[in-house]
Chain A
Amino acid sequence: MTMNASPMIVRVLRMLAGTQEIELGCEEVTALLDEYCEAQAGGEDLSRFAPVMNAHLRLCADCREEYEALLTLVTMDADPISS
């Protein structure tokens, strides 16, 4: 597998630009995820989660994917009568 170094360095710099002194870990994000998705689905104010939640979701692809999936699940219109 070969990788071109210059886009790699630019990607590292982008990660550095988003780096905060204090960030939530994956476990902390997972602990909040159900509450966060429900608040978002209900159109609530998310400022009590931001910006720490956003910073993590930008930098962690796995937590981001789980967040997107859970949001899809809770906002889905999947009950038998409507599908």
Chain B
Amino acid sequence: MRQWLARRLFFYLRSRSDLDKLADSEIQDLAEDFVQDTLLQIRAKLEQFEGRSKFTTWAGKIAVHQALGELRRARWRDFSLDSLIGESDFTPSFLVNEADPDAPDRAVERAETMRAVAEVINEELSERQRAALVALMVEGVPMDVVADRLGTNRNALYKLLHDARKRLRSRLEDRGYNIETLLNDLSG
């Protein structure tokens, strides 16, 4: 099983574009470290194995969870939510300024729609929900990293966001908006 994990993890890590600067020997070491940590976890979680999959697949799941968690945290080590706090107001900056009198009707209409959506986000979400939402808008930032910064875990963060999404959707609908129509108007 150790072999099974080590070989596969090595090939998987070698295929990742964010690790392509590492030599094969370094990737080998990285894979060995992850397998080592995984084996400890497997020992601790052994009674959770219910035989719903092969043992190697179950072990692979633990390895992947462990390895990717560590890679994410290392890669985003310097990520801070503080730099985003100014962004947690969703009102687009170009909407704050005086509307352009020469803009075509369609552009004015789109700006109005944006403003309405931003307003619902700003008014209906808690500060924590808004912070989580803004953080996840940064391209590629992992849930694990945002959860760490908010002092929570991935599962609880997902739930926080799920509640936020449901609330936004129903509040927008209360105001007579339809999500599909809004999307068509704004991205079309």
Contact surface of A with B, Cβ cutoff 8 Å: 1-6, 8-17, 19, 21, 23, 25-27, 30, 33-35, 37-38, 56, 59-63, 65-66, 69-70, 72-74, 76, 78-80, 83
CB contacts between A and B, total, < 8 Å? 138
Q: How near does chain B come to A32, taking the closest CB pair, in angstroms? A: 8
- The answer to whether B54 has its CB under 8 Å from any CB of chain A is yes
Q: What secondary structure prevails in chain B residues at the interface with A?
A: helix
Q: Is A76's CB under 8 angstroms from B165's CB?
A: no
Q: Is A16's CB under 8 angstroms from B53's CB?
A: no
A16-B165 contact in complex given A34-B52, A72-B12, C-beta closer than 8 Å? yes
Q: Is B92's CB under 8 angstroms from A9's CB?
A: yes
Q: Is A26's CB under 8 angstroms from B154's CB?
A: yes
Nearest to B118 among chain A residues (CB) is: A9
- Which range contains the number of B residues in contact with the other chain? 35 or more
- The answer to whether B91 has its CB under 8 Å from any CB of chain A is yes
Question: Residues of A contacting B172 with CB < 8 Å?
Answer: 16
Q: How near does chain A come to B79, taking the closest CB pair, in angstroms? A: 10
